[in-house]
Amino acid sequence: MNLAKKVVIVTTGGTIAMRYDPFSQSVVPAVTGPELVAAVPPLAEVGPVEVVEYANLPSPHITPAMMFDIARMLDVILARPEVAGVVVTHGTDTLEETAFLLDLVLKSDKPVCLTAAMRSSAEISPDGPKNILCAVRTAFSASAAGQGVLVVVNEEIHAAREVTKTHSANPKTFASPFWGPVGYVDEDRVIFRRQSLGREKIQPQALVEDVHLIKLVAGSDDFFFRCLVEKRVRGIVVEGFGRGNVPPAVVPGIEAALAAGIPVVLTTRVHGGRVLDVYGYEGGVIPLKNMGVLLAGEMSGQKARLKLMLALGLAENAADLARYFERP
């Protein structure tokens, strides 16, 4: 029993806080923060917890501005000396985005663990209570400090930068493709097996929200780029193919965006590996990079979009912005 310190559980909603409603015949937000904790009696053996209800939203309703707001709130909570760490309960759909944004902006090195559930509380074998228990145990664990923001689900611990939702329904949905978990939660202890290297911090006063993601498919053209250029958005992230290559008909749209002063960041729609200037054909990354397109390394489109929102909040000019994306 850890008497000195407490873990603060910040609830934001998601299936973990939902119940089946027979009237509407659907799963809807229904469970309060204190009810969530009350459903996990073994927490009393782990240590004191405090519950802070941020929201009770399905995670498709969570915006980057809310993620940033949650970060500001966590900075204040984590600065309290009696707080050992924080657990954030969240819907699974956008959990990896909130986790990654928090990883980039949070100031403290104390453990921050996001957790969730794929089954709502009234289903057979709900996964939420065990996930909350494991997340709180990880947040109390000294070995979790300095590991960055973690996602604790199914007794596995994943790094925010690497984790993604891989299945629409199966409780074993979170995985870190090509890397695997950084650790796991066993009956008697929390075990870390490796560290996620290459983490970074981008800590602006505010983020720039008007940044958009375009996913490319065979035969894509520049239609969506032209819409965004006309709208004068602040940034565009592109999910290209493989090493980052794009169809030739997309290139005029990228040129138009760059000519309008809109930064374009390139990612890949595949689950592993970096985008890189290997191919020189029309739409290949060599000409794209020469044009001024920024490369996002191994990062998924949805995470690179959040990174660009934060970097735009700090960067003074295009050269400065490039520093966030061209780092080795």
Active site residues: 15
Q: Nearest approach, Cβ of 70 to ligand ASP (angstroms)?
A: 15
Q: How many residues bind ligand ASP (CB under 6 A)?
A: 9
Question: Distance between alpha carbon 157 and the CA centroid of its chain, in Å?
Answer: 14
**Beta pairing partners, 164:** 175
What is the spatial distance between Cα 200 and Cα 189, in angstroms, rounded to a whole number? 28
User: Interaction with ligand ASP in 130-169: which residues (CB under 6 A)?
Assistant: none
Amino acid code (one letter) for 270 = V
Out of 47, 85, 91, 171, which residue is the one contacting ligand ASP (CB under 6 A)? Answer: 91
Mark the segment that binds ligand ASP (CB under 6 A) among 87-95, 255-263, 275-283, 310-318: 87-95
Comparison of 15 and 141: residue with beta carbon closer to ligand ASP = 15
> Residues 245, 284: contact at Cβ < 8 Å?
yes
Out of 8, 10, 14, 245, which residue is the one contacting ligand ASP (CB under 6 A)? Answer: 14
What is the three-class DSSP state of 140? helix
Task: From residue 112, give the alpha-carbon distance in Å to each of 61, 133, 172, 237, 267.
Answer: 22, 14, 21, 28, 27
Residue with tokens 């890949």: 268
Out of 55, 87, 106, 116, which residue is the one contacting ligand ASP (CB under 6 A)? Answer: 116
Q: Nearest approach, Cβ of 160 to ligand ASP (angstroms)?
A: 16
Mark the segment that binds ligand ASP (CB under 6 A) among 88-96, 185-193, 227-235, 301-309: 88-96
Residue with tokens 């996620």: 196
What is the spatial distance between Cα 215 and Cα 203, in angstroms, rounded to a whole number? 27
Mark the segment that binds ligand ASP (CB under 6 A) among 85-93, 152-160, 244-252, 263-271: 85-93
Chain contacts with ligand ASP (rule: CB under 6 A): 14-15, 58-59, 91-93, 116, 118
